């Protein structure tokens, strides 16, 4: 139970074909803080409107569509990728999917996952 | 000399093989020269964070667009010296009590990167905007390097 999420690399592709749209996997950090986990995902250029998240079969899919700043003129040096972001995480069964909260701030999505009641340490009172 | 960020090769045309591409890269990197070169992960270990930087040119401006997700505005440092734009700063760890790290991919700490600008710019008119984790720096070109329309008079 030491990790909240495991990246799902064995994601099924429809009929063995690659999906039409290509994505880049954003970098992520997972923190454990007492009774909750925090997942931070870096998605520069994504704002609240471009963010889609869903949980299905214990899998969390985060999709970020970028709204990049419009720059007129010609590009003379490029390092950034144009693709949107997508990453799938497998959730630990101890996570209560109904209580996930999320926010996005300067291109970083922060998700908070409270641990389900049964995994929290419980004090047993001796009577 | 400008520092150019290492870019991973684009495997998008081999999309169906992408799961194997990672493995292939790892194996290739073992054979390609010294262990500390040509490897993004190694590079990050030695050089810290190298945020992706794009440079655009319009008639009047040079525009630098840098991906800096999750920074605070006051932690970004911009400087211009001798035709070299330097972007640096520090991303601080949100180190609250009792926080354990289960997985870390995000960079924490100080970073700096420079790029030499293709033309002279007017340092007093540089402006910067930080939105959705992307920093856009607009550097107006110096008056003498702006393209000028020359009127041809027929007499």
pLDDT for the residue numbered B131:
92
Is A26 inside a domain boundary? yes
| Distance of alpha carbon A90 from alpha carbon A58, whole angstroms | 6
Q: Which residue has the higher pLDDT, B99 or A61?
A: A61
Q: Which residue has the higher pLDDT, B110 or B28?
A: B110
Chain B partners of A16 at a C-beta cutoff of 8 Å? 16
Is A125 inside a domain boundary? no
Ordered structural domains, chain B, with CATH: 12-47 (no CATH), 49-96+104-144 (2.60.40.790)
**CATH code of the domain containing A44:** 2.60.40.790
pLDDT for the residue numbered B63:
94
Q: Which residue has the higher pLDDT, A59 or B97?
A: A59
Give the lowest-confidence range in A63-67, B55-59, B97-101: B97-101
Mutation site, A10, A29, A35, interface B, largest B CB count within 10 A: A29
| Distance of alpha carbon A125 from alpha carbon A40, whole angstroms | 37
pLDDT for the residue numbered B39:
46
Asked if the model's pLDDT at residue B44 lies above 50, the reply is no
Chain A partners of B99 at a C-beta cutoff of 8 Å? 31-33
Q: Where does the pLDDT of residue A116 fall: very low under 50, low under 70, confident under 90, or very high at 90 and above?
A: confident
Q: Where does the pLDDT of residue A4 fall: very low under 50, low under 70, confident under 90, or very high at 90 and above?
A: low
The answer to whether the Cβ–Cβ distance between A44 and B68 falls below 8 Å is: yes
Is A15 inside a domain boundary? no
pLDDT for the residue numbered A49:
93
Mutation site, B43, B115, B134, interface A, largest A CB count within 10 A: B134
Q: What is the ipTM of this complex?
A: 0.76
| Distance of alpha carbon A41 from alpha carbon A62, whole angstroms | 9
| Distance of alpha carbon B139 from alpha carbon B125, whole angstroms | 7
Nearest Cα neighbor of A99 from A50, A60, A43 is A60
**What are A10-46's pLDDT values in tens digits?**
454 445 555 568 899 999 999 888 888 899 999 999 9
| Distance of alpha carbon B112 from alpha carbon A98, whole angstroms | 41
What length is written for chain A?
127
pTM: predicted TM-score of the whole model, two decimal places = 0.71
Q: Is the CB of residue A111 less than 8 Å away from at least one CB of chain B?
A: no
Is A104 inside a domain boundary? yes
Comparing CB atoms, the residue among B54, B98, B100 nearest residue A78 is B54
Is A75 inside a domain boundary? no
What residues have CB less than 8 Å from A34, skipping those under 6 apart? B98
Is A107 inside a domain boundary? yes
The answer to whether the Cβ–Cβ distance between B134 and A81 falls below 8 Å is: no
**What are B2-42's pLDDT values in tens digits?**
677 776 666 555 555 666 667 777 777 677 655 554 444 44
Number of structural domains, chain A?
A: 1
* Residue A16 vs residues A10, A61, B11, B152: alpha-carbon distances, Å: 12, 19, 18, 63
- What range defines the domain where residue A98 resides? 5-10+21-70+80-119
With CA atoms as reference, the chain B residue closest to A50 would be B132
pLDDT for the residue numbered A2:
39
The answer to whether the Cβ–Cβ distance between B105 and A105 falls below 8 Å is: no
Considering chain B, what percentage of its residues have pLDDT values greater than 70? 75
Chain A partners of B92 at a C-beta cutoff of 8 Å? none
**What are A89-114's pLDDT values in tens digits?**
988 887 888 888 999 999 999 999 88
């Amino acid at each position: 139970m030491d990790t909240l999420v495991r990246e799902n690399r064995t994601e099924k592709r429809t009929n063995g074909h690659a999906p039409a749209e290509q994505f880049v996997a954003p970098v992520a950090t997972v923190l454990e803080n007492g009774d909750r986990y925090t997942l931070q995902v870096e998605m520069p250029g994504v704002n609240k409107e471009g963010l889609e998240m869903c949980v299905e079969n214990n899998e969390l899919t985060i999709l970020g569509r970028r709204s990049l700043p419009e720059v007129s003129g010609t590009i003379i040096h490029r390092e950034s990728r144009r693709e949107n972001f997508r990453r799938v995480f497998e959730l630990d069964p101890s996570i209560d999917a109904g209580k996930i909260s999320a926010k996005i701030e300067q291109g970083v999505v922060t998700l908070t996952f409270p641990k389900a009641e049964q995994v929290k340490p419980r004090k047993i009172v001796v009577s | 000399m400008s520092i150019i960020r290492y870019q991973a090769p684009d495997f998008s045309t081999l999309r169906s093989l992408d799961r194997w591409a990672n493995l292939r890269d790892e194996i290739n990197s073992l054979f390609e020269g010294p262990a500390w070169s040509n490897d993004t992960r190694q590079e990050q270990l030695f050089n810290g964070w190298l945020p992706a930087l794009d440079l655009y040119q319009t008639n009047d401006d040079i525009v630098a667009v840098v991906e800096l997700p999750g920074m605070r505005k006051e932690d970004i440092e911009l400087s211009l010296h001798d035709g070299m734009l330097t972007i640096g700063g520090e991303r601080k760890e949100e180190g609250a009590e009792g926080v354990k790290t289960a997985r870390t991919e995000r960079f924490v700490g100080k970073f700096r990167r420079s790029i030499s600008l293709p033309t002279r710019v007017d340092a007093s008119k540089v402006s910067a905007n930080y939105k959705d984790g992307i920093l856009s720096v607009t550097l107006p070109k110096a008056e003498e390097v702006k393209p000028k329309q020359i009127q041809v008079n027929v007499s």
